């Protein structure tokens, strides 16, 4: 998949236009696919499809397996007869930013109405399809639905604060909870069914258009998640269920305090005893939804930064070894070669690089990090074919925002190295990424549009205000597609496989 020259665009679904507070699996996603085809792209890279957690982050999900119900297209539910036009009108929200405090309850109210209508009016075929989905996904779905129902019942407080019998999953308490919350459990299963149906239809259309989906898989999971509650033996927890140690990263040139993520670390010996089954199933489920997996914080499979549970910064930690080769060997033995991208740190860490190469996973190169005057593997002339080059990612500022804040020495070096006047710095870096020897180039849509820091998706370490950027329907034009197509063709990255392409 990464052996020929290709390119793609990074854009999460929530950033798409649409009338209901955020992008979703609806008509605007299909229009974006048409735009990608016209731009001659091969890949659409997205962020995790899992539900959002603390700070509205898709990297702090309450489930490593469940899809985000907020990505369900409401118009499709109306077309099925489960919502009315009045329901959709009441759910109309401004489309400039994602206002999670307004959008989430508004969409969830619609989903609850749709569930009630489904129970009254669903066809036999629809009921059978839902039952089939529940049977096929029982490995994670039953725990997720019960966990989410209990989380809702207990006011979203952490599972460690639930009654002890539920926190420890005692049989009698679990059986009683399943009876008492049966309707809520069925509702959450219905939401997952709706999401899965819509997303797989969108993915199938993308693939028919010659577009493959690159999806993101965070290495860690949230402590307050169905995964940790259902499988506490797989995580570094104390007897009371709280974290014994937590994950983060040490201080570096980007953050003097490092980062304290707060996720529980894995109890790798327990994973080994079960043959890394949880990881196999996680990859299996993810690869049902996407064509390629971007493995977030790949370094954590080699060594991870362990912090005390009470830590508030990333300073006071230690490196802890992880059994990366054993994990991926188990995955490959079960699933075969996995199409994946390793999010590596860019600087060469021998053991991480060796792990990546052992399993033929391309690494990542960020152009924004290339011109700081240090010996950098991000400089285009140091790229390898077995790499994915980005102008930036969701964790970076936009190119225009980066350039506005860059030091004069970076300006001088970049302009001299790239032989540019920097009047259109975003297109300068798009050209540089496209010209790279790296077989794959990915450009965030914000850089195609030439937007500044106001369009940044995420600032690591910032606790609020992330993940809100959206573009409006009139922002992205045919002229943008043509210009990107021209650059793509110039550097021989065009997706010219026209067979089977079609519009919706």
Catalytic (active-site) positions: 296, 343, 395
In the DSSP assignment, the letter for residue 234 is G
Q: Report the C-alpha gap between 237 and 228 in whole angstroms.
A: 9
* 8 A C-beta contact, residue 83 and residue 74: yes
Residue 320 has φ and ψ, to the nearest 5°, of -130, 130
Residue 462 has φ and ψ, to the nearest 5°, of -80, 130
Element holding 134 (H helix, E strand): helix 124-136
C-alpha pair distances (Å), 400 with each of 382, 421, 446, 479, 490: 24, 14, 9, 19, 23
Residue 440 has φ and ψ, to the nearest 5°, of -125, 135
Q: Report the C-alpha gap between 95 and 17 in whole angstroms.
A: 7
Report the residue count for the chain. 504
CA 305 to chain CA centroid, Å, is 22
* 8 A C-beta contact, residue 417 and residue 379: yes
Rg (CA), the chain: 23
* HEC string for 39-54: CCCCEEECCCCECCCH
Name 187's Cβ contacts closer than 8 Å, sequence gap at least 6: 111, 112, 115, 149
3-class secondary-structure state, position 191: helix
DSSP string spanning 19-87?
SSSS--SSHHHHHHHHHHHHTT--EEE----BPP-GGG-TTS-S-SS-B-GGGS-HHHHHHTTSS-HHH
Q: What is the β-pairing status of strands 6-10 and 440-444?
A: parallel
C-alpha pair distances (Å), 322 with each of 10, 59, 355, 363, 387: 30, 20, 11, 19, 24
């Amino acid at each position: 998949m990464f052996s020929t020259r290709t390119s793609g665009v990074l854009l999460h679904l929530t950033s798409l236009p649409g009338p209901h507070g955020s992008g979703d699996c609806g008509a605007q996603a299909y229009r974006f696919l048409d735009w990608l085809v016209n731009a001659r792209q091969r890949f659409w890279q997205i962020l995790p499809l899992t539900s959002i957690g603390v700070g509205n982050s898709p990297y702090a999900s309450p489930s490593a397996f469940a899809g985000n119900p907020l990505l369900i297209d409401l118009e499709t539910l109306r077309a099925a007869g489960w919502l009315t036009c009045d329901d959709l009108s009441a759910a109309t929200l401004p489309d400039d930013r994602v206002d999670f405090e307004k959008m989430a309850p508004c969409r969830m109210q619609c989903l609850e109405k749709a569930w009630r209508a489904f129970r009254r009016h669903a066809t036999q075929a629809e009921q059978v399809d839902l039952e089939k989905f529940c049977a096929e996904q029982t490995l994670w779905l039953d725990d997720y639905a019960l966990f989410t129902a209990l989380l809702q019942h207990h006011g979203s407080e952490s599972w460690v604060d639930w009654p002890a019998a539920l926190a420890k999953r005692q049989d009698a308490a679990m059986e009683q909870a399943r009876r008492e919350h049966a309707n809520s459990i069925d509702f959450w299963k219905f939401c997952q069914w709706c999401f899965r149906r819509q997303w797989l239809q969108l993915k199938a259309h993308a693939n028919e258009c010659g577009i493959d989906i690159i999806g993101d898989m965070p290495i860690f999971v949230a402590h307050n998640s169905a995964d940790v509650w259902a499988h506490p033996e797989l995580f570094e927890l104390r007897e009371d269920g709280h974290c014994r140690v937590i994950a983060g990263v040490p201080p570096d040139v980007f953050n003097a305090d490092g980062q304290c993520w707060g996720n529980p670390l894995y109890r790798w010996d327990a994973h080994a005893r079960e043959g890394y089954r949880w990881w196999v199933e996680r990859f299996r489920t993810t690869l049902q939804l996407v064509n390629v997996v971007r493995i977030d914080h790949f370094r954590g499979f080699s060594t991870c930064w362990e912090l005390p549970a009470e830590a508030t910064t990333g300073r006071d930690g230690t490196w802890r070894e992880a059994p990366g080769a054993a994990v991926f060997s188990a995955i490959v033995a079960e699933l075969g070669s996995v199409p994946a991208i390793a999010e590596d740190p860019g600087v060469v860490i021998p053991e991480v690089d060796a792990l990546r190469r052992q399993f033929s996973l391309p690494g990542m190169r960020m152009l924004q990090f290339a011109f700081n005057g240090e010996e950098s593997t991000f400089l285009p002339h140091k790229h390898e074919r077995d790499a994915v080059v980005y102008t930036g990612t969701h964790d970076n500022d936009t190119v225009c925002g980066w350039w506005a804040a860059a030091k004069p020495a970076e300006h001088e070096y970049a302009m001299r190295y790239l032989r540019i006047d920097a009047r259109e710095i975003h297109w300068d870096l798009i050209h540089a990424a496209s010209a790279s020897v790296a077989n794959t180039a990915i450009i965030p849509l914000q850089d195609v549009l030439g937007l500044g820091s106001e369009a940044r998706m995420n600032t690591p370490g910032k606790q609020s205000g992330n993940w809100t950027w959206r573009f409006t329907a009139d922002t992205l034009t045919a002229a943008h597609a043509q210009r990107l197509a021209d650059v793509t063709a110039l550097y021989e990255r065009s997706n010219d496989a026209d067979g089977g392409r079609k519009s919706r």
